[in-house]
């Protein structure tokens, strides 16, 4: 059941006389999560990031032919091997690459790609390209890991992302920490929770669940964005992410979105600014995680719902495409390049042919970072073989 930030507090309980009911607030059967558990952070580059000008095949003679106006200056490209380099604005990613905190997965997509923002995002969020989705891929992870924690996953968005949709409780949206303040008028309920939590039976179970939920809500309401050298809208959200990670709430998943990547026209300047925010902010964010001793237990997955077409258009931009790069950040990732770069001389109706199915990335995250057993991994990502993305 989805719990938004308001119902987490206001609709979690029904208080009347001496009877309290707590409908599925997070008190599910199963083992409690260990302190310091791992957290997956998902960053969606909303709009369709141009992969060709993000990870650049600067040695390929077809690159300047396809991108006559948008081709990047070879001397400014941040070379990571003899064939590929990063956009000049991605100095932050270059630093992460040198520190072995960055894995780049090339050519990520799926068969028969969809070019609608809505449907492509739905596919990436659910890992179900051929089905009508009913839950998200991360939601299936949560369902496979029963937990008593009152709050397990947070999305820093106004609306719930389909990726976190699941049958398990403990998922919330969050745009402002203060939205988790316990509403006036709940003092009696809080008192009863505290009194009941030491009892046996149903009242004790409800009391413990209610007390735990209120405790977590108060902790979130008291948080302040982490003070770190982060800037722009993405930086503001990452400061919230760091505050959550630095608390002892032990969230399993945090999701956020950074938009503006639908660059149909005048792409050069816009893309430069967007990638600078991504690279610089994620470098500084990862540095904080390492400094705070959190680098081992946090992995950040950066993806977009699709890439852009290989050739530029007549408006100085690029149109909706197919496969593109995915990035994994963290101390535990297997750094370097993974997967094959799509061939520029073997396009399909002007679009790249994918070389890595995105569900193989999800399978790797589920198996090797979130520690799901093989049967649970299949429920998350189907029969796709996990990539070796973690050390």
Q: For the domain bounded by 31-180+225-381, which CATH number is listed?
A: 3.40.720
pLDDT of residue 373: 96
Sequence-ordered list of residues with C-beta below 8 angstroms from that of 19, at least 6 positions apart, any chain: none
Paired tokens of 314:
């007549």
227 CB neighbour count, 10 Å cutoff: 10
* Mean pLDDT along residues 92-118: 98
* Mean pLDDT along residues 200-212: 80
Quote the mean pLDDT of the chain: 89
- Closest C-alpha among 302, 301, 300, 303 to residue 286: 300
pLDDT of residue 36: 54
Query: Greater confidence, 3 or 107?
Result: 107
**pTM, whole model, 2 decimals?**
0.90
pLDDT of residue 29: 34
Full strand arrangement of the beta sheet holding 85-86 = 55-56, 85-86, 78-79
Write the pLDDT tens digit of every residue in 143-160: 999 888 889 999 999 888
Hunting for tokens 């593109």 — which residue is that?
324
Paired tokens of 328:
């994994």
Write the pLDDT tens digit of every residue in 242-270: 999 999 898 999 999 999 999 999 999 99
CA distance 320 to 389: 28
Q: Is the dihedral of CA 263, 267, 269, 275 positive or negative?
A: positive
Residues in the chain, how many? Answer: 391
CA distance 198 to 64: 70
Hunting for tokens 């919330």 — which residue is that?
172
Q: How far is C-alpha 171 from the geometric centre of its chain's CA atoms?
A: 14
Q: 112-121, 193-202, 280-289, 307-316: lowest mean pLDDT where?
A: 193-202
CB 40 within 8 A of CB 369: yes
pLDDT of residue 31: 37
Say if residue 38's pLDDT is above 70.
Answer: yes
Q: What Cα–Cα distance (Å) separates residue 14 from each residue in 149, 165, 238, 281, 363? A: 20, 24, 35, 43, 40
* Mean pLDDT along residues 159-172: 92
Q: What Cα–Cα distance (Å) separates residue 113 from each residue in 126, 130, 240, 289, 379? A: 14, 11, 33, 35, 22
Query: Greater confidence, 133 or 383?
Result: 383
Q: 130-139, 182-191, 308-317, 327-336: lowest mean pLDDT where?
A: 182-191
Query: Greater confidence, 53 or 192?
Result: 53
* Mean pLDDT along residues 20-40: 49
CB 256 within 8 A of CB 243: no
Q: What Cα–Cα distance (Å) separates residue 263 from each residue in 78, 122, 297, 304? A: 22, 20, 34, 13
Say if residue 359's pLDDT is above 50.
Answer: yes
Say if residue 16's pLDDT is above 80.
Answer: no
Say if residue 324's pLDDT is above 50.
Answer: yes
Residues facing 365 on adjacent strands: none
pLDDT of residue 5: 45
């Amino acid at each position: 059941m989805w719990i938004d930030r308001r119902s987490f507090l206001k609709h979690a309980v029904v208080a009347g006389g001496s009877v309290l009911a707590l409908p599925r607030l997070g008190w599910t059967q199963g083992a409690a999560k260990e302190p310091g558990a791992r957290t997956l952070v998902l960053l969606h580059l909303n709009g369709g990031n141009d992969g060709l000008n993000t990870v650049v095949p600067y040695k390929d003679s077809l690159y300047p032919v396809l991108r006559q106006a948008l081709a990047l200056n070879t001397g400014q490209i941040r070379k990571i091997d003899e064939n590929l380099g990063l956009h000049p604005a991605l100095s932050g990613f270059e630093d992460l690459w040198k520190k072995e905190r960055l894995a780049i997965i090339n050519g990520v997509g799926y068969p028969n790609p969809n070019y609608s923002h809505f449907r492509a995002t739905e596919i990436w969020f659910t890992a179900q390209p051929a089905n009508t989705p009913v839950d998200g891929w991360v939601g299936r992870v949560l369902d496979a890991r029963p937990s008593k924690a009152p709050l397990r996953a947070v999305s820093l968005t106004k609306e719930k992302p389909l990726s976190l949709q699941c049958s398990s409780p403990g998922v919330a949206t969050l745009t402002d920490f203060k939205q988790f303040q316990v509403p006036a008028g709940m003092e009696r309920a809080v008192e009863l929770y505290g009194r009941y939590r030491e009892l046996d039976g149903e009242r004790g179970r409800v009391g413990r669940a209610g007390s735990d939920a209120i405790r977590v809500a108060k902790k979130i309401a008291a948080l302040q964005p982490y003070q770190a050298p982060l800037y722009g809208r993405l930086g503001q959200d990452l400061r919230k992410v760091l505050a959550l990670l630095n608390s002892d709430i032990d969230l399993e998943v945090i999701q956020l979105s950074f938009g503006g990547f639908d660059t149909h026209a005048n792409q050069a300047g816009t893309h430069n600014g967007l990638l600078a925010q991504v690279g610089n902010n994620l470098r500084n964010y990862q540095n904080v995680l390492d400094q705070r001793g959190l680098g081992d237990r946090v992995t950040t997955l950066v993806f977009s719902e699709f890439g852009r077409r290989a050739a530029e258009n007549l408006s100085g931009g690029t149109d909706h495409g197919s496969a593109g790069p995915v990035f994994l950040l963290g101390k535990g990732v297997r750094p370097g390049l993974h997967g094959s770069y799509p061939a520029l001389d073997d396009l399909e109706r002007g679009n790249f042919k994918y070389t890595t199915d995105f569900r193989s990335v999800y399978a790797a995250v589920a198996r090797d970072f979130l520690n799901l057993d093989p049967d649970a991994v299949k429920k998350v990502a189907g029969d796709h073989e996990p990539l070796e993305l973690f050390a």
